[in-house]
């Protein structure tokens, strides 16, 4: 254990979560087994080795999918409130283990401890939601055009759901999918990020324990581990009717094509390029808080992170100066230390992408307002700590069009009417989150109107990140069109069936067609 790990109680957290020095990254819930290579998990916080996880091989995967298929056949017959009861108990465990899990998320991924706890809170919230949902999986009834007929629709469990999640929300995104899919009666196979394999095993440990206590069949919560080749086993597999994938646009295009080629369903949560529009009627204090948290929170590694600020020329200097001033107060360092605002990037590749973005914006004619740079020296030995940077840039710059998963904020001016700002905000290929800061009702409503933001999420007077689980989460255009979490997002985890029942002694045909024998 490194000094940092010791000081912040990581050893105890690992113990509480049932983690060993080397863990199997393949699990059906009943068994944990793996015959693949060993993945070492290093913390971006201090560069230390946290633990090891053995990856999944093709043979391991076959065992998992067969178990999940068999388990599904039984699980789908459980009344959904009973499945909800299992999720309720799982949630009790999450509440009990919130601190160690939040701590491990922080240490393995690098987000602040507060955000780690917040992420576990999202898991708790979606489980609460799912428990209620387990009594509300309802369809509609319709009046038949034929006499003596009844027509309605019902939702049945779908089957085995494959979940591919990213390092930046290593636990919450899994739960958004599984909590709903479980109450819907599906079996879930999860491939978490190979950058955060220990948090995956920790979650699977919790589910496995609760599921075993409730005699849930094996395979309902399954885990596979490894790089994209392990993900491909699922995306190409006809036995997995739905793939829910979170990651880059590049990855999403590959997944979408593989799943479509076999006519499977996919739920995609891909990149964002989220902007806040700041109008002349904005509350400057709130704008600064929303923009700075949105840009530097999770070290700029949320898909909802604020990447662009579009500020009206009349208040441009004032807002720019206030934000630059706020950046001077940011404390960068160990995210387990609650005095720090910004932790490290996930790894050195991410640092390279960050540096590349800063080089590119200058090459394209941007003007650096807050200089970036990689931090060195005591406390920064992992080489993953960077300074949040701000550049004045144009929306059409190639680098501005691209999502860089790092704390680089581009700011730009608009003049005239709010429609000019909306055009800039929509002028990117991504369509996840967006926001407007204004106290002007007309501007706010126009931003939300059909001619307004083209994103899946459009907020007024809050930032672009920090979406609540109660709403459907996802975005349009190259963000992929998927919706997870709240509202009626559960429907994708079920198959809809329309039923028409004739309770007469005749067989009248629809559309008035006569067919007498």
Q: Which region among 151-159, 253-261, 362-370, 464-472 touches ligand UN1 (by CB under 6 A)?
A: 464-472
Beta carbon nearer to ligand UN1, 264 or 475: 475
Out of 9, 47, 379, 466, name the contact with ligand UN1 by CB under 6 A. Answer: 466
- Active-site residue 213, yes or no? no
Pairing of strands 367-370, 389-392: antiparallel
Q: Which CA distances in Å does 36 have to 26, 197, 227, 410?
A: 9, 14, 11, 43
Given a contact cutoff of 8 angstroms between Cβ atoms, the answer to whether 94 and 120 are in contact is: yes
- CA terminus-to-terminus distance, the chain: 83
304 binds ligand UN1 (CB under 6 A): yes
C-alpha 296/C-alpha 464 separation (Å) is 12
C-alpha 300/C-alpha 285 separation (Å) is 21
274 binds ligand UN1 (CB under 6 A): no
| DSSP run (H or E) holding 24 | strand 22-24
Out of 167, 169, 354, 414, name the contact with ligand UN1 by CB under 6 A. Answer: 169
Beta carbon nearer to ligand UN1, 28 or 246: 246
Beta carbon nearer to ligand UN1, 122 or 194: 122
251 binds ligand UN1 (CB under 6 A): no
Q: How far is the CB of 85 from ligand UN1 (least distance, A)?
A: 26
> Taking CB under 6 A as the rule, which mask of x and - marks residues 319-348 in contact with ligand UN1?
------------------------------
- Measuring CA to CA, which residue among 78, 186, 165, 158 is closest to residue 122? 165
287 binds ligand UN1 (CB under 6 A): no
54 binds ligand UN1 (CB under 6 A): no
Q: How many residues in the shown chain lie near ligand UN1 by CB under 6 A?
A: 11
Secondary structure of 302-347 as H, E, C letters:
CCCCEEEEEEECCCHHHHHHHHHHHHHCCCECCCCCCCCCECCCCC
Beta carbon nearer to ligand UN1, 126 or 256: 126
Which is catalytic among the residues 119, 122, 194, 269? Answer: 269
Q: Which region among 123-131, 166-174, 184-192, 195-203 touches ligand UN1 (by CB under 6 A)?
A: 166-174
C-alpha 120/C-alpha 411 separation (Å) is 32
465 binds ligand UN1 (CB under 6 A): yes
Q: How far is the CB of 102 from ligand UN1 (least distance, A)?
A: 15
Given a contact cutoff of 8 angstroms between Cβ atoms, the answer to whether 45 and 110 are in contact is: yes
Both tokens assigned to 378: 């005591």
Given a contact cutoff of 8 angstroms between Cβ atoms, the answer to whether 372 and 388 are in contact is: yes
Pairing of strands 265-269, 149-157: unpaired
**Residues forming the site for ligand UN1 (CB under 6 A):** 122, 168-169, 173, 246, 302-304, 465-467
Looking at the annotation, which residues are catalytic? 269
């Amino acid at each position: 254990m490194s000094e940092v790990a010791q000081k912040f109680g990581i050893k105890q957290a690992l113990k509480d979560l049932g983690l060993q020095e080397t863990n199997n990254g393949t699990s059906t819930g009943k068994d944990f087994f793996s015959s693949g290579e060993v993945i070492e998990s290093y913390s971006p916080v201090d560069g230390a080795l946290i633990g090891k996880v053995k990856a999944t091989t093709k043979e391991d995967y076959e065992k998992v999918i067969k178990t999940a298929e068999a388990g599904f056949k039984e699980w789908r017959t459980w009344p959904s409130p009973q499945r909800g009861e299992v999720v309720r108990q799982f949630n009790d465990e999450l509440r009990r283990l919130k601190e160690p899990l939040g701590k491990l998320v922080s240490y393995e991924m690098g987000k602040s401890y507060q955000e780690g706890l917040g992420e576990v809170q999202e898991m708790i919230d979606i489980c609460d939601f799912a428990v209620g949902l387990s009594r509300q999986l309802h369809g509609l009834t319709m009046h038949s055009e034929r006499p003596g007929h009844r027509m309605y629709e019902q939702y049945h469990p779908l089957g085995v759901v494959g979940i591919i999640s990213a390092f930046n929300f290593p636990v919450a995104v899994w739960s958004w999918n599984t909590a709903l899919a479980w109450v819907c009666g599906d079996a879930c196979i999860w491939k978490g990020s190979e950058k955060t394999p220990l948090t995956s095993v920790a979650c699977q440990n919790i589910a496995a324990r609760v599921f075993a206590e409730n005699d849930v069949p094996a395979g309902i919560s399954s885990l596979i581990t490894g790089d994209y080749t392990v993900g491909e086993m699922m995306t190409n597999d006809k036995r997995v009717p739905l793939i829910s994938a979170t990651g880059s646009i590049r990855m999403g295009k590959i997944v979408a094509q593989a799943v479509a080629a076999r006519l499977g369903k996919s739920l995609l949560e891909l990149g964002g390029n989220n902007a806040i529009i700041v109008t002349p009627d904005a509350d400057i204090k709130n704008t600064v808080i929303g923009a700075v948290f949105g840009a530097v929170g999770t070290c700029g590694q949320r898909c909802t992170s604020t990447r662009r600020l579009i500020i009206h020329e009349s208040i441009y200097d004032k807002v720019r100066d206030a934000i630059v001033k706020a950046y001077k107060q940011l404390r960068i360092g160990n995210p387990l230390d609650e005095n720090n605002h910004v932790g490290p990037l996930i790894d050195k590749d991410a640092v390279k992408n960050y540096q590349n973005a800063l080089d590119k914006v200058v090459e394209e004619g941007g003007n650096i307002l807050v200089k970036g740079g990689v931090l060195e020296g005591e406390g920064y030995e992992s080489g993953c700590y960077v300074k949040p940077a701000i550049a004045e840039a144009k929306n059409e710059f190639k680098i501005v069009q691209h999502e860089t998963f790092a704390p680089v904020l581009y700011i730009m001016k608009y003049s005239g009417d709010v429609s000019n700002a909306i055009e800039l905000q929509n002028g990117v290929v991504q369509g996840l989150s967006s926001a407007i800061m204004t106290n002007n009702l007309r501007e706010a409503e126009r931003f939300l109107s059909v001619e307004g933001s083209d994103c899946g999420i459009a907020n007024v007077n809050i930032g672009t990140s920090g979406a609540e689980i109660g709403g459907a989460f996802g975005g349009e255009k190259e963000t992929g069109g998927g919706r997870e979490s709240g509202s009626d997002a559960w429907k994708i985890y079920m198959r809809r069936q329309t039923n028409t029942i004739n309770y007469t002694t005749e067989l009248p045909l629809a559309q008035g067609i006569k067919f007498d024998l």
